[in-house]
Amino acid sequence: MLASRVIARIATRALWDELALYPKPGLVSLHDTGAHADMDASTFVRSLFALRKHFRAIAAAGASAAPFDELRILGQRAEAAMLRATGGVNTHRGALFILGLLGAAAALLGVRGRTPTDEHLRSALRATWCAALREPVPSGEPPSHGMEVAKRYGALGARGEAADAFPSVFEVALPALRDARRRGVDARRTRIAAFFALLERVEDTNVLYRAGSAGLEYVGASARRFHAAGGCDTADAFVRAAAIHRDFVVRGLSPGGCADLLAAALFVDALQAASR
């Protein structure tokens, strides 16, 4: 059984591993600020440490199958702590939502004596919280930019992903991560493989918000070219990924939704490793 404190620690580490990954086209890393002028790696570090205790509280609530409204309130408290730590910069709102729900599901499985397999995690989400996620946002709670963009373009967005038990995590990122690992590549390359799989297939609302459908198509086409040239397995993979990163920076493309989903895949992968 994974305790809430362990789940919180794994969530925090997943956010760190996502931040540390480079090249990660358009996004903040320890290397540079990507397509952002308002944040850097230190902003993300302050954020992830501010969130740590809140991940624990959300997991503890999940262990008792708390209703989604209770998780939502805990998430709002966590978001407020994040914004205080970053001076008002949104670093991890999407990741908080996704990792919070997955952590709640893992904690619920733990008290029921079940391991956090893909199937068990998705089943717990569907049985406990997915119905509430399909309901309209409560009145008085303004929709996020991501929700507005998702509605405009017909994309899933973070809430739609959650309502469908995170298909991009379990059907895109994790299979790519595991396939690369089976091929024997190192941890950095497996994460690059997962990230580029997400770039190719996810309708990232951050990209849609900044650059519309044309920007989203450009991101997907760039990922397809990366895969066609050998993906993460070639000697020049990092050089090619870095070139795409520089191109995204110039174009102002920042696939932050894919970054959140990558962090979620790393979180699930680490949860499963800790449960073996």
Q: What is the pLDDT of residues 189-202, one digit of tens each?
A: 999 999 999 999 99
CATH code for position 122: 1.10.4200
User: Could you tell me if residue 130 is inside a domain?
Assistant: yes
Residue 121's pLDDT band (cuts 50, 70, 90): very high
Give the single-character DSSP code of 91.
S
Asked whether residue 162 is domain-assigned, the answer is: yes
Q: Which domain holds residue 198?
A: 4-140+152-275
For 55-81, the pLDDT digits (tens) are 999 999 999 999 999 999 999 999 999
User: To the nearest 10°, the Cα dihedral for 254, 30, 74, 164?
Assistant: 50
Burial of 123 (0-12, 13-18, 19+ CB in 10 A): middle
State the average pLDDT over residues 172-191: 98
Q: Is the pLDDT at 143 greater than 70, yes or no?
A: no
Note the pTM of the prediction, 2 decimals: 0.96
pLDDT at 146: 76
pLDDT at 154: 86
Residue 2 has pLDDT above 70, yes or no: yes
Residue 142 pLDDT more than 80?
no
Instruction: Give the pLDDT score at 151.
Output: 81
Domain tally for the chain?
1
Q: What percent of the chain has pLDDT over 70?
A: 97
Q: How confident is the model at residue 72, as a pLDDT?
A: 96
Residue 146 located in a structural domain: no
Phi, psi of 135 (to 5 degrees): -80, 155
- Model confidence at 141: pLDDT above 90: no
Average pLDDT of the segment spanning 100-120: 98
pLDDT, position 156: 82
Is residue 246 assigned to a domain?
Answer: yes
* Dihedral, CA of residue 39, residue 7, residue 124 and residue 119, to nearest 10: 90
What pLDDT was estimated at residue 157? Answer: 85
Distance CA 40, CA 262 (A): 19
Task: Please report, rounded to a whole number, the percentage of residues in the chain having pLDDT higher than 90.
Answer: 90
Instruction: Confirm whether 59 is domain-assigned.
Output: yes
Tell whether 145 is covered by a domain: no
Residue 56 belongs to a domain? yes
Q: What is the mean pLDDT of the chain?
A: 95
For residues 137-166, average pLDDT:
82
Question: 114 by DSSP, 3-state: which?
Answer: coil
Residue with tokens 């049985």: 127
Angle value at C-alpha 245, between 239 and 246, nearest 5 degrees: 95
Phi-psi region of 26 (alpha: psi -120 to 50; beta: other; left: phi over 0): left
User: What pLDDT shows up at residue 1?
Assistant: 76
Asked, for residue 217, whether it belongs to a domain, the answer is yes
Residue 140 has pLDDT above 70, yes or no: no
Q: Are 26 and 253 contacting, i.e. CB atoms less than 8 angstroms apart? A: yes
pLDDT band at 222 (very low <50, low <70, confident <90, very high): very high
User: Confidence class of residue 139 from pLDDT cuts 50, 70 and 90?
Assistant: low
pLDDT score at 83 = 97
